[in-house]
Structure 1
Amino acid sequence: MFKFFDAYSIRARLFPAIIAAAPAFAALTLLISWKSFELSNLIATLGTLVLLFAIADFSRVRGRAIEGKLYTEHGGMPSITMFRRNDKTIDAGSKDRYRSFLAGKLAMEVPSPLDESTNQTSADEFYGQCGNWLRQNTRDTKKFPILFTENITYGFRRNLLGVKMLALCLNVIVVAVCTFILWRLSWDVDTPQGSRITVVLLVAVAHAAYMLLAVSRTAVWDASKAYGRELILSCESFLAQSSSPAKKTTARKSASKTENVSPPSD
């Protein structure tokens, strides 16, 4: 199944779906007999796949909705706010070089400090276009592995937060079903079925603890800032590439001049 996904889809979309439905998957695995492949096993397998894809799609939609709210709460997208002159995440000298480079690529003028202070919205539009250019030109994951990793981390946390409530609701349903079965078994956990139910309940408890403690808006925002910072710093790679031809041209000119100089006569 994984061959139909790229690395980002697997780690940032599929994994959050698997984590969100972990107790349900544990219940299906442990409470259904897999000694022989019957109709119930086929239904459970198909149901698991459908549930997985549905949750992955839902997590992406909900994650994007949360993303917009986070940007509003924190004053904008990190790749925009970090370009502002009043933001100290990246040093001013580096940002000046990045602005000049990107302005050349976009055929636009860099907003001056006065422009930025009097019309932040207009300046942010320029920074937004800078971010768009960088995203479109840093898709080569081999050339920008750190940026790709930060993007995956951000996507994973964002999408997992998007399904947090759904995951907790599934958790409650699984616990309720397992508790009902245990009640029907007169709370006898020594039977094979009782032991399996106990394992499912333990998974549900660990799952709920993880979702409540580790999945948060703060974690998503931290990942968003890390990705935004790395996106802006990717300008260094383009600046290094643009300066290399100039150095080679200078070296060629120096070599040509040396060749054209006549050797001293004896």
Structure 2
Amino acid sequence: MDFLDGYVVRARLFPAMLAVAPALVFLLVMVGGNYQGLGLPEALITLTVAVVFFAFADIARRFGRRAERTIFAASGGRPFPTVLRHRDKSINPRSKARYLAFLSRELAQAAPTVEQEETDPAAADEFYVSCGDFLRERTRDQSRFNVLFAENVSYGFRRNLYGLKYPGLLLNAIAAAASFWLIYRASGTNLSQYGVVLVVSAIHALYFVAGVTRKSVLDAGDLYGRQLVLSCEELERAAA
């Protein structure tokens, strides 16, 4: 039952629902006055809508992955633990040295020194990307690495929502324009109903313009990368 997975629901389905929220509210207002109760046709429609939502979740993932490839082009299209860089001060230097030694042993590859990182930062980043790939494969147990899983969900949510930013704003504009037109045609008699759509559209547009940004994805990626590196503590204990 993959569609019930916590990551799928929170990181894919929720962004999809947020992206289409104004259009969904508009449709609910349109059909609300004609609701006659729940029969077989309505039940089938409800089931269809549920399936459509999970189709939207898949679309959210694809749009998010496309945005990710653009944002993280230098690392093969995914966030990597930049906190492993010697020049990054997010992690205590002694802890970082221990993590790099552990990762170097596991990968059978020497970690770059400070001088090597300064001389050839791209080559050093290749090692850090490999570290991220290794750690991701070793930390798939959600219950054991629950904090990392939470950061991964947060990153996936922001990435997928950012991927849907402009399609979401386009749907918003269509729903708002349709509401204005229907209010005009109805001479204001449905102002309260379609006014709700306009309020939702305004809040939605403000959030998508100000809150759904490239920086928000990068910040979530950094937090995820940091927690990914901190998982070395648990992996080291298990290997001891």
Question: How high is the TM-score relative to the length of structure 1?
Answer: 0.79
Q: Is the 8 A contact 2:11 2:157 kept in 1?
A: yes
Identity in percent: 42
Q: Is the 8 A contact 2:81 2:128 kept in 1?
A: yes
Partner Cα separation in structure 1 for residue 155 and residue 52 of structure 2: 23
* 1:96 alignment partner in structure 2: 97
Q: Is the 8 A contact 1:13 1:156 kept in 2?
A: yes
Larger gyration radius, structure 1 or structure 2:
1
* 1:149 alignment partner in structure 2: 150
Matched, 1:106 2:107: yes
Deviation, 1:50, is 5.7
Question: How high is the TM-score relative to the length of structure 2?
Answer: 0.87
CA displacement, residues 109-160 of structure 1 (integer Å, 9 cap, x when unaligned): 2223333333333322222111111100111111111111011001001100
Residues 72 and 5 of structure 1, relative CA distance in 2, 3 Å threshold: same
User: Relative to structure 2, which stretch is displaced further, 95-104 or 64-73?
Assistant: 64-73
* 1:226 alignment partner in structure 2: 223
Give unpaired runs (5+ residues) of structure 2.
none
Deviation, 1:188, is 2.4
Runs of 4+ in 1 over 4 A off after TM superposition: 37-47
SS in 2 for 1:82: helix
* 2:22 alignment partner in structure 1: 23
Q: Is the 8 A contact 1:80 1:124 kept in 2?
A: no
* 1:129 alignment partner in structure 2: 130
Q: Is the 8 A contact 1:23 1:171 kept in 2?
A: yes
Matched, 1:8 2:19: no
Partner Cα separation in structure 2 for residue 39 and residue 183 of structure 1: 35
* 2:71 alignment partner in structure 1: 70
CA displacement, residues 36-92 of structure 1 (integer Å, 9 cap, x when unaligned): 357985786466446534432332222222223323589x96534221111111122
Letter of the structure 2 residue corresponding to residue 235 of structure 1: C
Letter of the structure 1 residue corresponding to residue 176 of structure 2: V
* 1:177 alignment partner in structure 2: 178
Q: Is the 8 A contact 2:82 2:222 kept in 1?
A: no
Deviation, 1:181, is 1.4
Q: Is the 8 A contact 1:79 1:232 kept in 2?
A: no
Residues 3 and 233 of structure 1, relative CA distance in 2, 3 Å threshold: closer
Partner Cα separation in structure 1 for residue 2 and residue 62 of structure 2: 23
Residues 47 and 212 of structure 1, relative CA distance in 2, 3 Å threshold: farther
Q: Is the 8 A contact 1:20 1:160 kept in 2?
A: yes
Q: Is the 8 A contact 1:25 1:48 kept in 2?
A: no
Deviation, 1:196, is 2.0
Deviation, 1:174, is 0.9
* 1:212 alignment partner in structure 2: 209
Q: Is the 8 A contact 2:81 2:228 kept in 1?
A: no
Map 1:156-167 to 2 at 5 A. Answer: 156-167=157-168
RMSD: 2.6
Give unpaired runs (5+ residues) of structure 1.
244-266
Deviation, 1:23, is 1.2
Q: Is the 8 A contact 1:80 1:128 kept in 2?
A: yes
* 1:262 alignment partner in structure 2: none
Q: Is the 8 A contact 1:79 1:229 kept in 2?
A: no
Partner Cα separation in structure 2 for residue 93 and residue 156 of structure 1: 33
Q: How many residues align?
A: 237
Deviation, 1:208, is 1.6
SS in 2 for 1:97: helix
CA displacement, residues 5-61 of structure 1 (integer Å, 9 cap, x when unaligned): 310000000000000011111122222022235798578646644653443233222
Q: Is the 8 A contact 2:12 2:160 kept in 1?
A: yes
Partner Cα separation in structure 2 for residue 29 and residue 109 of structure 1: 59
SS in 1 for 2:84: coil
